[in-house]
């Protein structure tokens, strides 16, 4: 079994993977500062709750868009699991070719999602990750990362709505019974959810049109992605574990070569 860790701007998602399947998964808050020992104690406790011993973890792979946590997280893997983790970044085989202007600007999370979608569905494929930011990435038939679109996530939009207005309350993000809202909470929910469905559908249609790929397969992931994917026929697959599947695929591509130096 391997421990796969994806560090996002809001949450750290962890999963214990065996043969590509998820044995257990956990979430921690990214914004809470932690030492390597604090990470270690928390991870050991989470694993113990699922009856997984630290000795069963054969390796660790980390993808991160938050550099500030990497020293503590890497030290945790070494101290508590005896593993020098594989870090998704330059020099790692992913199966994805970056053909955009500056490859270093493409976040590791986007590459991991792209690797998973391409491995599972082939190309061309359009990958949407409904995270802190929502990212839309076009992967061509040869595995080339051809284009990426970034927009504020639905959570950011919601926070802006109630934080920047004096009288609007904090609300649950969900689709209301009708877009014809008659009170404040449902009117905010209607604007957020239906507005985001509209954005998603327009971007998918425009990408298909400009790329000349009318049959382009669309794969979505991310915490709030199910709310949107359930409301549109333009998303073909919603897979909440897409990132973990990508980390598994990348680990398999690199494990033999990496083991020589670790």
Q: Annotated active-site positions, please?
A: 109
Taking the C-alpha atoms of residue 84 and residue 259, their distance in angstroms, rounded to an integer, is 10
| DSSP-assigned letter for residue 205 | H
CA 172-12-235 angle, to 5 degrees, is 60
For residue 152, what are the β-bridge partners? 133
Work out the number of other CB atoms within 10 angstroms of the CB of residue 170.
11
Cα–Cα distance list, 218 to 7, 67, 73, 129, 231 (Å): 24, 30, 33, 11, 14
Contact indicator for 94, 88 with CB cutoff of 8 Å: yes
Contact 28, 42 (CB under 8 A): yes
d(CA 66, CA 51): 29
Burial class (CB in 10 A: 0-12, 13-18, 19+), 94: buried
Contact indicator for 151, 160 with CB cutoff of 8 Å: no
């Amino acid at each position: 079994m391997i421990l796969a860790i994806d560090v996002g701007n809001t949450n750290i998602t962890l999963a214990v993977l065996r043969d590509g399947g998820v044995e257990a998964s956990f979430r921690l808050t990214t914004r809470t500062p932690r030492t390597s020992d604090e990470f270690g104690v928390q991870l050991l406790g989470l694993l113990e709750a699922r009856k997984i011993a630290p000795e069963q973890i054969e390796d660790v792979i980390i993808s991160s868009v938050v550099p500030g946590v990497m020293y503590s997280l890497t030290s945790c893997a070494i101290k508590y699991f005896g593993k020098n983790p594989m870090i998704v970044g330059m020099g790692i085989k992913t199966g994805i070719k970056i053909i955009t202007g500056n490859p270093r600007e493409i976040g590791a999370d986007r590459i991991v999602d792209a690797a998973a979608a391409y491995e599972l569905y082939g190309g061309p494929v359009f990958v949407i990750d409904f995270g802190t930011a929502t990212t839309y990435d076009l992967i061509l038939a040869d595995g080339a990362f051809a284009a990426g679109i970034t927009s504020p996530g639905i959570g950011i939009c919601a926070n802006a709505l109630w934080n920047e207005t004096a009288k609007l309350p904090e609300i649950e993000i969900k689709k209301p019974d009708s877009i014809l809202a008659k009170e404040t909470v449902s009117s905010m929910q209607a604007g957020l959810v239906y507005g985001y469905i509209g954005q998603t559908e327009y971007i998918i249609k425009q990408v298909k049109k400009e790329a000349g790929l009318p049959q382009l397969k669309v794969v979505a992931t991310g915490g709030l992605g199910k709310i949107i994917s359930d409301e549109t026929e333009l998303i073909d697959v919603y897979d909440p574990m897409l990132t973990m599947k990508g980390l598994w695929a990348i680990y398999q591509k690199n494990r033999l070569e990496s083991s020589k130096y670790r």
